[in-house]
Structure 1
């Protein structure tokens, strides 16, 4: 346990200070179970500093990305209120190591969800949806990492921007998405890229969390996964994501 806490301090300090660190997995001989334990311990450090756990993000929701990383399941990270970037606000790349963004569908839960649930039950637990942009940031040197490294590093979760909450559509499985930099599209995709339907991401979140004795709670946010490839950020760029029928969300990167 002391070893897990020590490694949690390493990854938490890397995120807090925006400093790259060497990969952990190979040197430390970590398992995936260890990686999630490090993630949990690092989030406890954030909470001890006054942040509040408000939800989860799902990763490797793209089949191509999962194959690339050699995994057959999704991964998750935890969201805190300290990661929120205001819609229409600003962020500074100096607070990140390798910041990238991807457009997503965010879900707001109105009741708890745990264990093995079906698609209908999972979507019935959703109160509202919103367009979102996740800011992902691997804290590893040279942007090189393994699956276990990623999970230990809170699955690269570092920030997110939420648009206005709206009534959930009857079918969220194929909503068009456009990610733009300075008004010019840089990525175009669909929620269909998220496991064919982003509700499957929610179903998986409920199952995976239950396996570690946790559950999704009412009022929590779930970022269902990137619908396009991620785009690297640079100072001065204005970022926006538009989600079909649900509006847009955006922010500006502060100039250097």
Structure 2
């Protein structure tokens, strides 16, 4: 289409791939893509969702643990946008054909109680949190075999696909040494600790506020920040029930109906 930029074309491809559950080639296989350009593509792709009536409700952090970096083959913290359509009610059973090859991981969620100005110091950022919750993030790459470069995954909204929130809790004295379990059908699939999230989930929150602020999208009152995975992600398979349990915070769960993911 005349007048459409390469970034707009890529944003449209990624948006349609997510809507249709279709795998597309990695952009980096076709042309050079910088991380800065990838964030611009991410913004354009999410803007298409907002144009359809979705709302921004927060941000997610990615690659905040060495284990996750190793699993995905990258070495840099990233962030993506959360929209209202991504929120899955706690305990609900989702249809697998809504995704391509979904995975799930346990996280700590922060609830932001007031708008944060760009450049806010760490103490202002942390004091803006009014509650925390255990969470599950559903990730789902639009690329074959979950393989991508750093720029590829940033453009793909950091693989964001859905999230589940447990009950909100008062902010505890500390969050850095809480045990984490990821259970599948009542059996332990992964175990870890919140210290895997940049050493302390609060650091991830500060990084989120700083990164989004520099991008011209400061955190807003009512938004959720997913701090990043505390363990490796596991496949989200038809018929399974998955639960994240975080010491002193409680649990969050999601089920998958019988059926098959999209081919």
- TM-score (norm. length: structure 2): 0.93
The aligned counterpart of 2:156 is 153
Aligned pairs for 1:34-113 within 5 A: 34-66=37-69, 69-71=73-75, 73-113=76-116
1:129 aligns with 2:154: no
Secondary structure, in 3 states, of the residue corresponding to 2:79? strand
What is the rounded CA distance, in whole Å, between the counterparts of 1:118 and 1:87 in structure 2? 33
What is the rounded CA distance, in whole Å, between the counterparts of 2:195 and 2:22 in structure 1? 35
Larger displacement relative to structure 2 (24-33 or 14-23):
24-33
RMSD: 1.5
Count of residue correspondences: 255
The aligned counterpart of 2:123 is 120
Q: Deviations over 1:140-171 (max 9, x none)?
A: 02322111110000000000000111101011
Q: Is the 8 A contact 1:177 1:244 kept in 2?
A: yes
The aligned counterpart of 1:190 is 193
Q: CA deviation at 1:114?
A: 4.3
Q: CA deviation at 1:116?
A: 4.6
Q: Structure 2 stretches of 5 or more lacking a match?
A: none
Q: Is the 8 A contact 1:130 1:165 kept in 2?
A: yes
The aligned counterpart of 1:225 is 228
The aligned counterpart of 2:178 is 175
Q: 1:180 to 1:70 in 2, by over 3 A?
A: closer
What is the rounded CA distance, in whole Å, between the counterparts of 1:129 and 1:75 in structure 2? 21
Q: Is the 8 A contact 2:107 2:228 kept in 1?
A: yes
Secondary structure, in 3 states, of the residue corresponding to 1:199? helix
Larger displacement relative to structure 2 (20-29 or 154-163):
20-29
1:208 aligns with 2:208: no
Q: Which runs of 4+ in 1 moved over 4 A?
A: 114-119
Q: 1:220 to 1:204 in 2, by over 3 A?
A: same
Q: Is the 8 A contact 1:114 1:209 kept in 2?
A: no
Q: Structure 1 stretches of 5 or more lacking a match?
A: none
The aligned counterpart of 1:8 is 11
